[in-house]
Protein backbone atom coordinates (compact mmCIF):
# COMPACT_ATOMS: atom_id res chain seq x y z
CA UNK A 1 0.00 0.00 0.00
CA UNK A 2 1.36 3.38 -0.99
CA UNK A 3 1.41 6.02 1.68
CA UNK A 4 0.74 9.66 1.12
CA UNK A 5 1.39 12.28 3.78
CA UNK A 6 -0.17 15.71 4.00
CA UNK A 7 0.86 18.59 6.20
CA UNK A 8 -0.17 20.47 8.15
CA UNK A 9 -3.25 18.65 9.35
CA UNK A 10 -4.90 21.84 10.60
CA UNK A 11 -4.38 25.46 9.60
CA UNK A 12 -6.18 28.51 10.94
CA UNK A 13 -5.27 31.88 9.45
CA UNK A 14 -6.62 35.40 9.03
CA UNK A 15 -8.11 36.70 5.81
CA UNK A 16 -5.43 38.07 3.50
CA UNK A 17 -2.65 35.77 4.67
CA UNK A 18 -0.80 33.33 2.42
CA UNK A 19 -0.45 29.61 3.10
CA UNK A 20 1.10 26.46 1.70
CA UNK A 21 -0.05 22.87 2.07
CA UNK A 22 2.23 19.92 1.31
CA UNK A 23 1.74 16.39 0.00
CA UNK A 24 4.53 13.80 -0.01
CA UNK A 25 5.16 10.18 -0.91
CA UNK A 26 8.21 7.93 -0.81
CA UNK A 27 7.30 6.64 -4.28
CA UNK A 28 6.97 8.37 -7.62
CA UNK A 29 3.46 9.44 -8.51
CA UNK A 30 2.12 8.80 -11.99
CA UNK A 31 -0.41 11.52 -11.32
CA UNK A 32 -1.56 13.62 -8.42
CA UNK A 33 -4.80 15.46 -7.81
CA UNK A 34 -5.88 18.12 -5.36
CA UNK A 35 -9.47 18.21 -4.14
CA UNK A 36 -11.36 20.56 -1.87
CA UNK A 37 -14.17 19.30 0.36
CA UNK A 38 -16.69 21.51 2.13
CA UNK A 39 -18.73 20.31 5.12
CA UNK A 40 -21.55 17.99 4.10
CA UNK A 41 -20.31 17.71 0.53
CA UNK A 42 -18.10 15.39 -1.47
CA UNK A 43 -14.62 16.39 -2.63
CA UNK A 44 -14.38 18.55 -5.77
CA UNK A 45 -11.38 18.33 -8.08
CA UNK A 46 -9.18 21.43 -8.23
CA UNK A 47 -6.31 20.24 -10.41
CA UNK A 48 -4.47 17.23 -11.83
CA UNK A 49 -0.68 17.26 -12.29
CA UNK A 50 1.27 14.61 -14.15
CA UNK A 51 4.59 16.16 -15.26
CA UNK A 52 7.53 16.69 -12.91
CA UNK A 53 8.13 20.39 -12.26
CA UNK A 54 4.65 21.29 -13.46
CA UNK A 55 3.05 24.46 -12.09
CA UNK A 56 -0.64 25.17 -12.46
CA UNK A 57 -2.59 28.21 -11.34
CA UNK A 58 -6.24 28.50 -10.50
CA UNK A 59 -7.00 32.11 -9.58
CA UNK A 60 -5.24 32.58 -6.20
CA UNK A 61 -4.23 28.91 -5.95
CA UNK A 62 -0.86 27.73 -7.26
CA UNK A 63 -0.09 24.01 -7.52
CA UNK A 64 3.43 22.65 -7.93
CA UNK A 65 4.51 19.12 -8.71
CA UNK A 66 8.02 18.24 -7.61
CA UNK A 67 10.67 17.50 -10.23
CA UNK A 68 10.96 13.93 -8.94
CA UNK A 69 7.17 13.56 -8.85
CA UNK A 70 7.23 12.53 -5.18
CA UNK A 71 5.80 15.71 -3.73
CA UNK A 72 3.38 18.51 -4.42
CA UNK A 73 2.33 21.76 -2.84
CA UNK A 74 -0.71 23.98 -2.88
CA UNK A 75 -0.15 27.68 -2.23
CA UNK A 76 -3.01 30.08 -1.61
CA UNK A 77 -2.37 33.80 -1.90
CA UNK A 78 -4.44 36.28 0.08
CA UNK A 79 -6.74 33.67 1.56
CA UNK A 80 -10.43 34.47 1.86
CA UNK A 81 -13.11 32.98 4.15
CA UNK A 82 -14.52 31.19 1.08
CA UNK A 83 -11.31 29.17 0.89
CA UNK A 84 -12.25 27.42 4.13
CA UNK A 85 -12.48 23.67 3.68
CA UNK A 86 -10.65 20.35 3.71
CA UNK A 87 -7.91 20.17 1.10
CA UNK A 88 -7.09 16.64 -0.01
CA UNK A 89 -4.32 15.39 -2.22
CA UNK A 90 -4.82 12.08 -4.00
CA UNK A 91 -2.12 10.16 -5.80
CA UNK A 92 -1.87 7.30 -8.25
CA UNK A 93 1.27 5.21 -8.75
CA UNK A 94 2.44 3.30 -11.80
CA UNK A 95 -0.36 2.20 -14.09
CA UNK A 96 -2.72 1.81 -11.17
CA UNK A 97 -6.11 3.40 -11.59
CA UNK A 98 -6.60 3.62 -7.87
CA UNK A 99 -6.42 6.98 -6.13
CA UNK A 100 -5.07 7.05 -2.59
CA UNK A 101 -6.16 10.06 -0.60
CA UNK A 102 -4.20 11.81 2.10
CA UNK A 103 -5.78 12.70 5.43
CA UNK A 104 -6.25 16.25 4.29
CA UNK A 105 -5.53 19.72 5.59
CA UNK A 106 -8.42 21.42 7.33
CA UNK A 107 -8.12 25.12 6.52
CA UNK A 108 -10.05 27.81 8.35
CA UNK A 109 -9.80 31.38 7.11
CA UNK A 110 -11.11 33.87 9.65
CA UNK A 111 -12.60 37.19 8.52
CA UNK B 1 -26.58 18.35 -15.79
CA UNK B 2 -27.20 16.53 -12.50
CA UNK B 3 -24.24 15.44 -10.48
CA UNK B 4 -23.84 12.22 -8.54
CA UNK B 5 -26.95 11.62 -6.46
CA UNK B 6 -26.87 9.75 -3.18
CA UNK B 7 -29.57 8.83 -0.71
CA UNK B 8 -30.25 8.97 2.10
CA UNK B 9 -28.10 11.88 3.22
CA UNK B 10 -28.21 10.77 6.85
CA UNK B 11 -28.93 7.45 8.53
CA UNK B 12 -28.98 6.56 12.20
CA UNK B 13 -29.33 2.91 13.14
CA UNK B 14 -28.63 0.62 16.05
CA UNK B 15 -25.81 -1.87 15.85
CA UNK B 16 -26.63 -5.21 14.26
CA UNK B 17 -29.26 -3.59 12.03
CA UNK B 18 -28.94 -3.62 8.24
CA UNK B 19 -28.54 -0.46 6.19
CA UNK B 20 -28.39 0.34 2.48
CA UNK B 21 -27.11 3.30 0.51
CA UNK B 22 -28.05 4.21 -3.03
CA UNK B 23 -26.06 6.04 -5.71
CA UNK B 24 -26.94 7.33 -9.16
CA UNK B 25 -23.80 8.35 -11.08
CA UNK B 26 -23.45 11.00 -13.74
CA UNK B 27 -25.01 9.87 -17.00
CA UNK B 28 -22.48 8.21 -19.26
CA UNK B 29 -19.93 7.50 -16.53
CA UNK B 30 -19.06 3.83 -16.72
CA UNK B 31 -16.80 3.79 -13.66
CA UNK B 32 -18.37 3.99 -10.21
CA UNK B 33 -16.63 4.04 -6.84
CA UNK B 34 -17.75 3.65 -3.27
CA UNK B 35 -15.55 5.25 -0.62
CA UNK B 36 -15.71 5.41 3.14
CA UNK B 37 -14.52 8.54 4.91
CA UNK B 38 -13.92 8.43 8.63
CA UNK B 39 -13.85 11.61 10.65
CA UNK B 40 -10.61 13.50 10.10
CA UNK B 41 -9.48 11.20 7.30
CA UNK B 42 -9.44 11.16 3.53
CA UNK B 43 -11.76 8.86 1.56
CA UNK B 44 -10.78 5.18 1.35
CA UNK B 45 -11.86 3.10 -1.62
CA UNK B 46 -14.21 0.21 -0.86
CA UNK B 47 -15.13 -0.98 -4.35
CA UNK B 48 -14.87 0.07 -7.98
CA UNK B 49 -17.20 -0.89 -10.81
CA UNK B 50 -16.58 -0.85 -14.53
CA UNK B 51 -20.11 -0.92 -15.89
CA UNK B 52 -21.81 -3.71 -13.91
CA UNK B 53 -18.59 -5.56 -13.05
CA UNK B 54 -16.89 -5.13 -9.69
CA UNK B 55 -13.25 -4.98 -10.78
CA UNK B 56 -11.71 -4.09 -7.42
CA UNK B 57 -13.37 -5.02 -4.15
CA UNK B 58 -10.19 -5.83 -2.26
CA UNK B 59 -10.93 -3.25 0.44
CA UNK B 60 -14.55 -4.25 0.93
CA UNK B 61 -15.19 -6.14 4.23
CA UNK B 62 -17.04 -8.96 2.57
CA UNK B 63 -18.29 -10.55 5.75
CA UNK B 64 -20.78 -7.73 6.25
CA UNK B 65 -20.60 -5.45 3.22
CA UNK B 66 -22.06 -6.10 -0.20
CA UNK B 67 -22.60 -3.99 -3.28
CA UNK B 68 -24.28 -4.27 -6.62
CA UNK B 69 -24.60 -2.25 -9.77
CA UNK B 70 -27.43 -3.67 -11.78
CA UNK B 71 -27.50 -2.69 -15.45
CA UNK B 72 -24.31 -0.71 -14.98
CA UNK B 73 -25.99 2.46 -13.78
CA UNK B 74 -27.33 2.81 -10.21
CA UNK B 75 -25.52 1.14 -7.36
CA UNK B 76 -26.36 0.10 -3.82
CA UNK B 77 -24.01 -0.55 -0.92
CA UNK B 78 -25.31 -2.64 1.96
CA UNK B 79 -24.06 -3.36 5.44
CA UNK B 80 -25.51 -6.27 7.40
CA UNK B 81 -25.14 -6.29 10.32
CA UNK B 82 -23.80 -2.83 11.09
CA UNK B 83 -21.16 -2.36 13.79
CA UNK B 84 -20.25 0.71 15.81
CA UNK B 85 -17.05 1.11 13.80
CA UNK B 86 -19.03 1.47 10.57
CA UNK B 87 -20.03 5.02 11.53
CA UNK B 88 -18.61 7.18 8.74
CA UNK B 89 -19.55 9.07 5.59
CA UNK B 90 -20.06 6.80 2.59
CA UNK B 91 -19.23 8.57 -0.65
CA UNK B 92 -20.09 7.52 -4.17
CA UNK B 93 -18.12 8.84 -7.12
CA UNK B 94 -18.13 8.31 -10.86
CA UNK B 95 -15.73 9.00 -13.72
CA UNK B 96 -15.51 8.65 -17.47
CA UNK B 97 -12.24 6.75 -17.39
CA UNK B 98 -10.74 4.28 -14.97
CA UNK B 99 -7.21 5.62 -14.55
CA UNK B 100 -5.97 7.67 -11.64
CA UNK B 101 -5.62 10.88 -13.61
CA UNK B 102 -9.29 10.96 -14.49
CA UNK B 103 -11.53 13.35 -12.61
CA UNK B 104 -13.78 11.67 -10.13
CA UNK B 105 -17.08 13.38 -9.42
CA UNK B 106 -18.33 12.80 -5.91
CA UNK B 107 -21.80 12.80 -4.47
CA UNK B 108 -22.57 14.53 -1.16
CA UNK B 109 -22.29 11.28 0.78
CA UNK B 110 -24.41 9.44 3.31
CA UNK B 111 -23.51 10.06 6.92
CA UNK B 112 -24.06 6.83 8.85
CA UNK B 113 -24.26 6.79 12.64
CA UNK B 114 -24.39 3.40 14.33
CA UNK B 115 -25.56 3.52 17.97
Q: What residue ranges define each of the domains in chain A, with the CATH number in brackets? A: 6-110 (2.60.40.10)
Tell me the domain boundaries of chain B: 5-114
Average pLDDT along chain A = 93
Q: H helices of chain B, where?
A: none
Q: Contact, A65 vs A72, CB < 8 A?
A: yes
pLDDT in tens, A5-48: 999 999 999 999 999 999 999 888 888 999 999 999 999 999 99
Of A41, A97, A101, Cβ closest to residue B108: A41
Q: Kindly state the percentage of chain B with pLDDT values over 90.
A: 77
* β partners of residue B50: B31, B53
Nearest to B43 among A30, A43, A45 (CB): A43
**Segment B9-29 mean pLDDT:** 96
Q: Which residues of A are less than 8 Å from B44 in CB distance?
A: 101
Q: How far does B99 lie from chain A, in Å, by closest CA?
A: 4
pLDDT level of residue B80 (50, 70, 90 thresholds): very high
Around Cβ B77, how many Cβ atoms within 10 Å? 23
Q: Point out the residue among A42, A88, A92 whose CB comes nearest to the CB of B101.
A: A92
Chain B's closest residue to A9, CA to CA, is: B40
The class that CATH gives domain B5-114 is: mainly beta
Q: Which of the residues B42, B98, B103 would you substitute to probe the A interface, choosing the one with the greatest number of A C-beta atoms within 10 Å?
A: B42
Name the maximum alpha-carbon separation found in chain B: 39
B29 touches chain A (CB under 8 A): no
Q: Determine whether A78 is exposed, middle or buried from the number of CB atoms within 10 Å of its CB (0-12, 13-18, 19+).
A: exposed
Quick check: A103 and B108 CB within 8 A?
A: no
Which pairing describes strands B110-114 and B10-13: parallel, antiparallel, or unpaired?
parallel
Distances, alpha carbon A91 to alpha carbons A3, A7, A30, B1, B58, in Å: 9, 15, 8, 28, 18
Q: What does the pLDDT average to over B52-62?
A: 90
Amino acid sequence: TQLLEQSPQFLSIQEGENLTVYCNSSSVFSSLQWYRQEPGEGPVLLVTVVTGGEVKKLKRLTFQFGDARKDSSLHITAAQPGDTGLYLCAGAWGSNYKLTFGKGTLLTVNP
Amino acid sequence: EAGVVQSPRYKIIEKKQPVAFWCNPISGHNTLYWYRQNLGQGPELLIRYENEEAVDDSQLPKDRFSAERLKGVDSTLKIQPAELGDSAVYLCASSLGRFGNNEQFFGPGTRLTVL
